[in-house]
Every structure is written in structure tokens, then in C-alpha cells.
Structure 1
Amino acid sequence: MALDQITILGIIVVTIGLFIWGRWRHDMVALASLLACVFTGLIEPEDAFAGFGHPAVVTVACVLILSRGLQSTGAMDALAQKVVPKRGGITMAIAALTALGAAMSGFMNNVGAMALLMPVATDLAVRHQLPPGKVLMPLSFGTILGGMTTLIGTPPNLIVSGFRANTGAGGYGMFDFTPVGVVVALVGIVFVALIGWRLVPARTQAGASTFDTGTYLTEALVGDKSAAIGKSLAELVKMIGDDDAQVIGLVHNNARVSTAMPGLRVRAGDLLLIEAEPGSLSSVLSSLGLSLSADPQSDVAAKATVSTAPELSNGAGTHTHTGEISDTPEGEQETEHGKEGKKETKKDSDDKRAKEQDDLVMRELVVLPDSYLIGRSAEHLRLAGRYETNLLALSRQGRRSVKRLRSTPLMSGDTLLMMGSEENLARFANEQRCVPLAQRDISMPNKEKAYVALVAMALAVAGAAFGLMPAAISFATCVLAFMALKVVPLRNAYEAVDGSVVVLLGALIAVAQVMDTTGAADVVAKTMLENLAQENPLYALVLILVVTMTLSDFMNNAATAAVMCAIALSVAEQLHVNPDSFLMAVAIGASCAFLTPVGHQNNTLILSPGGFKFGDYWPMGLPLEILVLLVAVPTLLWVWPL
């Protein structure tokens, strides 16, 4: 092999290794790969960012904005409520929900479809007394399957289309993916509804009123009248042992003390670090006379008074209010009339506070993969000051945090127990990209704008489907219409674009092209053909599909498609067969990330709400991937013959 071939293959191997390692975010890995190509002379500096102008990148950005519009107007909510049956068996309900998720994912972002339907899945699980994971995982897999049915359903399809266009054959049309994609998706949905959901590990107790998010780690304030005062840590552990809770630490004067000092006595003002099941948290707080700690770093929280014993089961929460502020102008206090005015003002203030206390609720919110909260802690967010809300507890994949609650950096998939008014919690969730677990508290339906959104989206799809204009132009026009008609507020339009996805696509498209220009893809393809496929086109097709599926389970599916497209085209060229068969195999394989929580964002999103572990995905995911392989290969040969 030539030096440039060895160099690009080395860069690709390191890139894949970094994707699987997961320590760096995928856009950082992609950008590092691109710059490595530039520094080694494989890409000219002036051509380094040419991939960012690729139609696939533009189309993905547009689809993200359009998905935000469909979400914010409530355009899909009514459809979801009508399609998913209120009565009947669980099999039909899961089938309807999964099919709806797949259909929505064909025309909007997968994560957006998942976020819209998660509350529906919650209600379904509660109604049928099932652990939420039994419904969440089928929904996640359904939205992933649905993405393979259209050109805009998932970024890998757009990348595959771009590689085909680079060969001179032109890109794929809107529904060129549909014949194979629909067959695979339908078979997958039938499997998930009849058999698959039964294979999902049950990580929660049936009949739970909320998601089992594992255990919450929370900080509880020891008040002046708390029963915990004077008790040793060892005594507290025994006191709450029957409530499925445990004391894992103590914070005294901002210093954390481990339970390795069981004889340490608790004093007023201390913070107890308690790990408890969501349903047990209220009981523990009541029995010990503790209160959930507000954000100590906020100016508002610093003046806050927190009431004790919140009732989690009925939605009533603790109350945080500011210190006394007199509304009486200076000088009025010297007159009798002024004193009466002061009394009235104080009474009005008390009434207002009482009303505010009644309005406070608790909500469980999941941090989305594109949330602005990721990597930031509660003490940096100033929640009480900015949103008049408090972070009360955190659950992360059932694992205990080793830091203070307020200083723990948040991660994708974390479940947050938040307290505040309905309006403030909705604003926080919308602005910071979180999704509620139990209820649809965020969506503010607007029928007029919903109809506008659906009509504009239908016209955009039609424009691309009938070849009236390229997909990127058609959807960019729809985005302009959304902005002009205020379907998506101008301030939120660009917030809907996931910058990490744009960087990932723009960088890796250029890197993948180097595989072709240096001939490295030909070398890999020849090695695969001679040693594994034995020059047999059918074996080669199966091999491409299996390798793509395997890579997509451990690295970003768009990155997988970018790497495998060049190899697929080279294999087809060397065998002198139809390249469409192999490109479509890459498209199918890149949309089959069912074995791990890291292969697709939707799998990550359900990790904490479902109480799942890393190995909980393969019991349903592995049979599904084998089924996809058995169905996809003959369907590919029928629709795109060799």
C-alpha cells in the first residue's frame, strides 16, 4: 500500500476507536479526524470545509428546524392520542405506538419523534401496569426503523444519496428508500409488538406511578426541629432502612463526610446525602423531618425558606420564596393610615405567596442528547434566579453520583426531579432541551399554526418527492416559510439545529472522500472480497450489511455511513455489479443500532427512564438485527437486483 493509503486507514481506525471509546463527543472526534487529514496533506487546506456545504448537511439542518416546528405547535399530539388505543390489549397498543413512531420518524427527526411520544408511552405503561422500559424500548426501536423509509428519515440516508450523486448517477429520490425500508420496518414492528417487548428486562415494578429511574440521589436539609438532630449516621441508616433508602454521606460546612464515620452526629443545618427510590423519598423526608435542599448558589435560593415533607405522590412540592420586602413607600409608616397600608400590603404579599405555594409542582425531566445542560452543574445554572425552579434530585442510569448534587455535571439521559410552577418548568424544559416523563406539560398546542406546519411540510416533501427541486432546496424553502409564518419563533430557529451533528457530517464527508481519492477504499474492498466474500456478490452484500450494522451499534450512524459508503462503492465496482444494492445495504445497516445504548440517541434517551443497564438492549436487539438481516437481503436483491 502507498503511504497516503496507510495514513488515511490509520486515521479511520483511530477515529472509529475514539467513537467507540466515547470519552470525546462525536463532533470533536470528527473534527479531529478532518484536521488530521489536513495536517498530513491528504486534504488541501482550502478544501477542508467543503463538506459543510454538502446538500446532506443542509438538509439535515433544515429537517431539525422543521421537526422543532412540528413539536412546538402540537401538530402530532392529536394524531398520537387518536392512533394509540385507550382500550384493548398491550400487544395492539405497543404495535400502534411503535408504528406511529416509525411513521413520524420518516418525516421528522428521530429524537423529536421519540420526545413527542415518550409521555404517551408512559401513560401506556401505567395503564397496563408494565415497567416503562417494556414500552420505551419498542418505541425507541420503532423510531429508528422508521428513519430508513425515506430520504430525510435519518442522516445516513442523505449521506448515502450524496455518495451516489458523486458517482455521476444522481442522488436518490425521496421515496427510493421506501420499498426496502417499509418492508424491514413492518417486519420489525410486528416482531417488537408480538415478541420483542416480552424480551426487554423488567427493571421496574409493575404499576409504578412514575418512571423507575433507578434511585435518586438528593440532598436533604436538617432543620431545627428535625428528628435527625443528634443521631449518628449509623442510627439514621437503621431508621430509614425499611424505606428502601440509605444515607450515603453528610455535608457539614460545605465539606462532604463519608458514612465511613458512622459515629458522627448530625447537627441542624447539615445536608444529608440520601439515595432512595422515587416512591420512598417522601416517606424518608417526613419520618426524619427533613426538607429538600434548594440551590445554594442562587441569590433567590439564598433567601429561600423551604417547607418540609413534600408529597411526591400528588404533585405538591416544597415551596421556595424570597425574604420579606416591604412595598410601603418611605415616610408612610409614621401615619396611622400608613400602618394600615403596610398591614394590607403584608397580607396581600402573604396571600400571593400562599397562591404561589399551591401552584408549585414536581416534575421528572430527562436531559435530551442535544440539551444545553450537558456538562453543566446546577450551581452554574442558577436555576432559582433564572427560572424560579430548583433541582431536587438526580438519577443517572441507576448509578450513585460521587459529587455534591449541585456540583455534578449533567449528562444526556439524566433524570432530574425539578420543583417549580407549571409555567416555569415548561419554560426551563423548552429552553434547556428536556422532556417530561409523566405528563405532556411542555407542549402548547396551536391549531392554526399546526395546520400551517403540516401543509408546509407536505409541500416540501412533495417538492422533493416529485423532483420539482432538490431536497435541500425544498426543505430550506419550508424552513423559510416556518420562520416567516412564525411556526418556529425566530429566536428558536437556529437553536433547533444540533451543531454537533452539522460538524460531524461536514467533517466526515470530507474524510470519507479521502478514502476514495487515495484508493484506500479499494484496498479494503479487495481484502474483504478475497478473504471473506470469496468474490461472491451475495456474500459481499451480506458482509457489507453485517459490518455496517455492527459499527452502528458502537459509533454514530452517520459516521458509520460515511465510512462504509466508499467501501461499498469500491466492492460493487470490483465485482461489476449494481452499486445501488450495496449503498442501500449501508443505509439499512446504519439504521439498525439495537444492541447498545450508545449506537443511537434514542437508545441513550431511554437509558435512565427505563432503568436500563448497558447490556439490557441485546435481548430484544440481537433477534431484531438477525431478523432485519434475513428480511433485508432478499428484499434488496428484489428491489435493487445485482
Structure 2
Amino acid sequence: MEVTALTTLATVAAVLLTLASTRIAPDVILMAALAFLVIIGILTPGEALVGFANPGVMTIAVLYVVAAGLKETGAIQWVAHRLLGQPKQLRQAQLRVLLPAAGLSAFMNNTTVVAMFIPAIQEWAGRLKLPPSKLLLPLSYAAIIGGTCTLIGTSTNLVVDGLLQTEKGVALGMFDLAWVGVPLVLVGGGFLWFFADRLLPNREGVLEQLESAREYSVEVSVEPKGPLAGKTIQEAGLRNLTHGYLADIERDGRLMTAVPPETDLRAGDILIFIGAPECARELRRIHGLKPANGDVHKLDIAHHHRCLVEAVIGPDFAGLNQTVKQSRFRSRYQAVILSISRAGKRLPGKVGAIKLQVGDTLLLETGQEFVEQYRYRKDFLLVSALNDSTPPDFRKAPWALAILGGMVATSALGLLSILEAAFLAGGVMLASRCVTPSKARRYVDLSVLIVIAASFSLGAAMNKTGAAAQIAQWLMLADDLSPWLALAMVYVMTVVFTELITNNAAAVLMFPIAMAVAEQLGVSFMPFALTIMFAASASFMTPLGYQTNLMVLGPGGYRFTDYLRLGVPLSALVAITALALIPMVWRF
């Protein structure tokens, strides 16, 4: 093997290892690999940047705008509330979750679908007295499987279609994948319907754990002639209590939330501490404070000034592996952490001393603007207000759904390509004010687009240097290897890559290898390309393999073993079904 091929393989291995074992942002890693391949001369700048001009990548970018219109108008909630209904049994409730989740994710980004369904299902499950742990993981899995039914169902499908267009001159239709995707929904959805209740635990989510999170609030006032008036919170020694912490200050009838330590105390300020009952006894020892409003009482979560927010920590959170205090969470986000849940359990002890990890679910008390400010940021995977009583404006929801339907119809009938239909739908969303241009920009996930586009450079280098052909040769255990067995090997490799790195990067890396395998076997490349599409979406065994799996981790109160218990048999069923059907639809 030539030096360039060895260098390319070493680069790919380094990228995989770095993605799997570090917290460095994937877009940074992939762009560094792209730059390295250009600098050492393996790729020309034009070859390295070809992914940024790929039609699949551009289609994904435009579909973010379409998804923004659907989300901003509350179209998903509008549909969800009509389909969820009032079931009397858990089995009926699961069916009412599985069907709309799979159906909606076939036509829009499944991350958006799951993000919109989670708060709706939490409220719905609480009203019907059903455990959210029986509903939220099936929601994620149904959305993943539903995305395999159409070309626009997942970004992975569009990426592989873009590769087929640029390298093979083949373009797939909107519903070409349905021949395999619909049976997968029936098989996978049927499994979830029959076995999710038995295999998933009856466990509380973060909202149900609130009652035991930080049960008491203590209100004290600053004495007018006492020693604390005029001092900052830090100088008064109110930031280092053992049994509680200062959450809010009520001053002149106005509630100040998440107050920073440099805030000056004024005579008559009412200080609201949250903590264990011992907090009151601790505060009595501080000279200059006196009880206010009866001293100790249960924490009133419906306080009209407060906004309770649930947030799931994402891989880009700035304070990973730091304690809450070290991360300066309060001053950075202007929010107070009431409780932290991990692996389905509330973490005991002092909140400020807990180290934050990916997937931790935080129960926050903050201002009303927090949700809007951080909903589009990458610090958190999910941000939702728990006591937000403001109903969405559904007036344009039918318009948004009609635009989506028009995009699907014009593409399915062959009137426009998927990219052209997406451009038209995105433009109409903006023109009809279903979403404003400023909010549409926030929805476009540049980091995901960069990861996908930069991944193309690795695939191009593997093709150009012969590294892909070499890997394909290693996979050929015998000269007379069956195409079915080769297809299964490609499927398994793609699933492993997907669990380790992002699904889109896995698809781009596996594409040249799969094409080389097909070439060496002398068979059609189409079954192999479609196998990558379905395998890259089949991430059910870990919460980290697919974003929607991580999003339901905290709200459902799940542990890693729950994903294995339900995900392993589901992965096997999906693999068997896909590998049996793909060669029947796209012949070798």
C-alpha cells in the first residue's frame, strides 16, 4: 500500500479515535483533518471542499428553515395534541405516541419532532397518570425508524443521496426508500408496542422528582440597621452555606432571579434561600437577617415570577466535568440549579459540588427569557419551560403543514428536485412569516453542516489514494464471498461507526468502502449505498449514538442499561429486516 493511502488511513483512524474519546467539537476535528489532507498534498483545495457544494448538504441546510417554520407555528404540537387524545391504557398511549412520531419524522428532522413531543408527552403522561419512562424512549426510536421512510426523513439519507448524485449520477426519489422503510416501521413499531412496557422500567423523570429535589424555601429579610445592608452577597458570606443557597431577592415588589455574588444587599430585601430544612437554622446564626413571611415553608413552584426550566446538558456545554460552582453556572446562564438528575436518579448532596456530565438533566429556576435564549444554543440538547402557560400561536400551523405537504408532493411527482422543492418551501415559509429570517438563521445548525461537508474530504482521500479499495479487499474474506454476507459486513461496520461517531460522518466514511466492495464483487452498488442509509440511522443501543436518544435520557429517567435492554433486540430486528429487503428491492 502506498504512503498516501497509509497516511489517509492513519488520518481516518485519528479522527475516529478523537471523536470517540474526547470532548473536542466534531466540526473542529473534521475541519482539522480536511486542512491536514490539503496541506500535505493528498487533496487539492477543490477536492477537499467538494462537500460544501454537495446538493445533499445544501438540501439539509434549507430543510432547517422548513423545520423552523413548522416549529415556530406549533404545527407539530397542533398535530400531536389531536393525535395523542385521552387513552385509558398504557398500550393505547404507546400506540398514540409511536404512530405520529414515526409519521412526522418521515417528513422532517426527527430531532425537531422529539424536542417538540417531549414536553407535550410529559404533561400528557402526568395528566393520565402514566409513567413517562414507558413513552419517551419509544418516542425516540419511532422517530429514528420513521426517518428511514423518505429521502428527507433524515440528513443521512440526503448525504448518501448527494454522494450518489456526484459520484454515480444516480438520484433517488422521495419515496424510493419506503419499500424498506415502511416495513421497518411496522416491524420496529410492532416490537416497541408489544415489548416496551415489559422491557422499560417504571421510573420517574426530572419533573416527577421535583417534589424531593429541594423541598423547602426559606425567606429572610435584611435588617435595616444591621451589618449586612450595603454589603455584597459574597461579602456577607451568603454564597457558602452548607444546607442551602440564595436563589432570589425580592426588592420593592420585584423578584430578582439568579442574583450574582457581587449584588449589593439593601435594607428590607427579602432573600429567598432554597435547601434542606436545616437551612433555616443555619440562617438564624447570621447576624443582620431576620425571618420573613413565616420563615420556612414548602417551595411554591407555581410562583408567578419564576420560570422552571428543564435542560439536558449537551456535549458542547462549557462546564463539562467541572462542579456547578467551578463552571460559574449561575453567573454564566443567569439561572439557579434546583436539582440534577443522572441515569434516572436525583443526585444527592450540595448542588454546587456536583460535577456536570453530558446527559445530566438540570431543573432550573430562571427568567422567562432563558428558554428563548438557549433553545438554539449547543450548550443544551433540550430546553423546555415546565410551567410555561403561554399557549403557542397556532394560527399559521395549517399554513406550515400545507407548505410541507406541497414540498413533498412536488418532489414526489417529479415536478421539482428535492433541493428545488426545499428551496421553494423555505422561501414560502419566510414569505408567509411562518418564521422570521432571524429565527430561521438560528435554526440552521452550521456545526452539523460543517461536519457533514468536511467528512466528504475523508471519503475523497480514501477514494483517491486507494485506501477504500484496500479496506474492501481486507473485508473480502474469500474470493467467492457472497454479496449477502458482504452486505451484512458493511451494515455492521456502519452501525459500529454510528455508535462511535456521528451518523452522517459514519455514512460518508463508509460510502467509498461500500462502493469498493461492490466493485470488487462485480455487483450493483445500489444495495450497498442503501444499506449505509439504513444502518447509519439504526442507533438504538446507547444514548450517545443518536441525538434524540440523549434528549430523552433525563426526561425519561433512563439509565444506560435501559437502552441496551430495549435497543439490542430492536437493532437485531431492524438489521434482519433491512438486509432481507434491500437486495429484493435493489438487486445485486
Normalised by the shorter chain, which TM-score bucket?
0.7 to 0.9
2:69 maps to 69
1:503 maps to 450
- Correspondence 1:378 to 2:329: yes
1:369-518 aligned within 5 A: 369=314, 377-381=328-332, 383=334, 390-397=335-342, 398=345, 405=352, 414-420=361-367, 424=369, 427-428=372-373, 430=375, 434-436=382-384, 438=386, 441=389, 444-447=392-395, 449-518=396-465
For residues 25-79 of structure 1, the C-alpha deviation after alignment (integer angstroms, 9 at most, x for no partner) is 2212221221221222211134432311211111111112211210110112221
CA contact (8 A) 1:68 1:488 kept: yes
For residues 191-250 of structure 1, the C-alpha deviation after alignment (integer angstroms, 9 at most, x for no partner) is 11110342124443xxx792448985899889579xxxxxxxxxxxxxxxxxxxxxxxxx
**How far apart in 1 are the matches of 2:233 and 2:263?**
19
Q: Could you say if the C-alpha distance between residues 443 and 570 of structure 1 is closer, same or farther in structure 2, counting changes exceeding 3 Å?
A: farther
Q: Could you say if the C-alpha distance between residues 31 and 435 of structure 1 is closer, same or farther in structure 2, counting changes exceeding 3 Å?
A: same
1:87 maps to 87
For residues 354-412 of structure 1, the C-alpha deviation after alignment (integer angstroms, 9 at most, x for no partner) is xxx962244232247599988785345463xxxxxx42425252585999749988966
2:562 maps to 616
**How far apart in 1 are the matches of 2:376 and 2:481?**
54
Q: Tell me whether 129-138 or 211-220 shows the greater mean CA deviation.
A: 211-220
1:545 maps to 491
Q: Tell me whether 597-606 or 191-200 shows the greater mean CA deviation.
A: 191-200
1:583 maps to 529
Q: Secondary structure at the match of 2:500?
A: coil
Q: Tell me whether 183-192 or 358-367 shows the greater mean CA deviation.
A: 358-367
For residues 528-556 of structure 1, the C-alpha deviation after alignment (integer angstroms, 9 at most, x for no partner) is 1126x961111111111122122212211
Q: Percent identity?
A: 27
1:105-504 aligned within 5 A: 105-127=105-127, 129-204=129-204, 210-212=207-209, 223=220, 269=238, 271-272=240-241, 294-296=258-260, 305-306=269-270, 308=272, 359-367=304-312, 369=314, 377-381=328-332, 383=334, 390-397=335-342, 398=345, 405=352, 414-420=361-367, 424=369, 427-428=372-373, 430=375, 434-436=382-384, 438=386, 441=389, 444-447=392-395, 449-504=396-451
**How far apart in 2 are the matches of 1:442 and 1:56?**
37
**How far apart in 1 are the matches of 2:216 and 2:317?**
24
**How far apart in 1 are the matches of 2:531 and 2:3?**
30
CA contact (8 A) 1:152 1:174 kept: yes
Q: Tell me whether 426-435 or 215-224 shows the greater mean CA deviation.
A: 215-224
Deviation for aligned residue 1:525: 0.9
Q: Secondary structure at the match of 2:457?
A: helix
CA contact (8 A) 1:217 1:405 kept: no
**How far apart in 2 are the matches of 1:491 and 1:76?**
21
Q: Could you say if the C-alpha distance between residues 212 and 65 of structure 1 is closer, same or farther in structure 2, counting changes exceeding 3 Å?
A: farther
Deviation for aligned residue 1:590: 0.5
Equivalent residue letter for 2:465: T
**How far apart in 2 are the matches of 1:299 and 1:113?**
41
For residues 606-626 of structure 1, the C-alpha deviation after alignment (integer angstroms, 9 at most, x for no partner) is 222223333331100000001
CA contact (8 A) 1:581 1:637 kept: yes
**How far apart in 1 are the matches of 2:54 and 2:346?**
41
CA contact (8 A) 1:394 1:415 kept: yes
CA contact (8 A) 1:367 1:435 kept: yes
**How far apart in 1 are the matches of 2:63 and 2:88?**
35
Q: Secondary structure at the match of 1:65?
A: helix
1:12 maps to 12
Equivalent residue letter for 1:132: P
Q: Secondary structure at the match of 2:148?
A: helix
Equivalent residue letter for 1:526: Q
Q: How many residues align?
A: 537
CA contact (8 A) 2:90 2:130 kept: no
1:557 is matched with which residue: 493, 496, 503? Answer: 503
Deviation for aligned residue 1:293: 7.9
CA contact (8 A) 1:218 1:275 kept: no
Of structures 1 and 2, the larger Rg is shown by: 1
Q: Secondary structure at the match of 1:578?
A: coil
2:517 maps to 571
Q: Secondary structure at the match of 2:168?
A: coil
CA contact (8 A) 1:149 1:175 kept: yes
1:640 maps to 586
Q: Secondary structure at the match of 2:338?
A: strand
Q: Tell me whether 510-519 or 555-564 shows the greater mean CA deviation.
A: 510-519
Q: Secondary structure at the match of 2:147?
A: helix
**How far apart in 2 are the matches of 1:137 and 1:299?**
43
Q: Could you say if the C-alpha distance between residues 587 and 146 of structure 1 is closer, same or farther in structure 2, counting changes exceeding 3 Å?
A: same
CA contact (8 A) 2:495 2:538 kept: yes
- Correspondence 1:603 to 2:549: yes
Deviation for aligned residue 1:443: 5.8
Runs (5+) with no aligned partner, structure 1: 226-251, 256-266, 277-281, 283-290, 313-356, 384-389
Deviation for aligned residue 1:473: 2.2
**How far apart in 1 are the matches of 2:389 and 2:93?**
23
**How far apart in 2 are the matches of 1:35 and 1:547?**
26
**How far apart in 1 are the matches of 2:170 and 2:268?**
63
**How far apart in 2 are the matches of 1:202 and 1:146?**
25
1:23 maps to 23
CA contact (8 A) 1:105 1:113 kept: yes
Equivalent residue letter for 1:152: I
Deviation for aligned residue 1:579: 1.3
For residues 142-191 of structure 1, the C-alpha deviation after alignment (integer angstroms, 9 at most, x for no partner) is 11111111111111111211222133342211111111011112211111
**How far apart in 1 are the matches of 2:569 and 2:536?**
17
**How far apart in 1 are the matches of 2:117 and 2:156?**
23
TM-score, with length taken from structure 1? 0.75
Deviation for aligned residue 1:125: 3.3
Q: Could you say if the C-alpha distance between residues 438 and 270 of structure 1 is closer, same or farther in structure 2, counting changes exceeding 3 Å?
A: closer
Equivalent residue letter for 1:125: A
**How far apart in 2 are the matches of 1:101 and 1:504?**
26
Q: Could you say if the C-alpha distance between residues 51 and 303 of structure 1 is closer, same or farther in structure 2, counting changes exceeding 3 Å?
A: farther
Q: Secondary structure at the match of 1:360?
A: coil
